[in-house]
Structure 1
Amino acid sequence: MEQQGQQVGSFITGSSMPTQDEKTWGMLSHLSGLLLAFIGPLIIWQTKGKESAWVERQAIEALNFQITVGIAFVASFILTFVLIGACLMPLVGLAALVLSIIGGIKANNGEAYRYPATIRLIK
């Protein structure tokens, strides 16, 4: 199991550091979730993930996080009927925003990022 900040997989160049292109796609996989929910990371995983193991790991991590956020939003919506969800929805949205930005920054720096409290359905 990899730790936060460790490098993952083999890279295009065979070096231990991702290329700038890999960093950019890794960053986009995290940030695309802000606008496209799980669709952005899914598209990047299916296209650019085939070219780079590092991009694939970042896109899968972002995809798992966006799926978890979706589940949390559905649970919050259901809980709005007992008024708890009205407080939870903004918190889930804020956490998704902040953690996606942190993931994007880490990926742009060439660091593998793992989201906390994420259901990892896709391995």
Structure 2
Amino acid sequence: MKREDRQTLMLTHLSQLLNLVTGIGGLIVPLILWQTQKDTIEDMDEHGKAIMNFQLSMLIYSLICIPLIIVVGLGFIGLIVIGLFTLIFPIVNAIKANNGDPINYPLSIRLIK
């Protein structure tokens, strides 16, 4: 039987902010939490997939912006927007997870279903 643990869901969302400090920790730590807790915590599988899809989408968008810096210069704007998304949406969704509300990561590509 799965248990409800909103605090762990919240911490899983907030662990994405490790990208700001370590560069890749915001992808690895939520992945580990999701894989180890998806069978014991209610809704962890749904939240983990949403987080992984968001992180992978932001990585793909960042890789697209790099050549745009050289070619057009618009890549800087794209990277700033991506940076804001990776800062704001994990915090918003952590609050939603803690309150039991449905989460939403805009512009996420559903790579993991």
Contact 1:65/1:118 (8 A) holds in 2: yes
- Give 5+ residue unaligned stretches, structure 2: 19-24
Q: CA deviation at 1:60?
A: 1.3
Tell me the C-alpha RMSD between the 2 structures: 1.5
Q: CA deviation at 1:84?
A: 1.0
After TM superposition, the score normalised by the length of structure 2 is 0.85
From 114, 117, 120, give the equivalent of 2:104.
114
Secondary structure of 1:122's partner?
Answer: coil
- CA distance in 2 between partners of 1:112 and 1:56 (Å): 13
Higher helix share: 2
- Give 5+ residue unaligned stretches, structure 1: 1-9, 13-18
Amino acid at match of 2:90: S
Q: How many residues align?
A: 106
Secondary structure of 2:38's partner?
Answer: helix
Moved over 2 A (4+): none
After TM superposition, the score normalised by the length of structure 1 is 0.78
- CA distance in 1 between partners of 2:13 and 2:74 (Å): 28
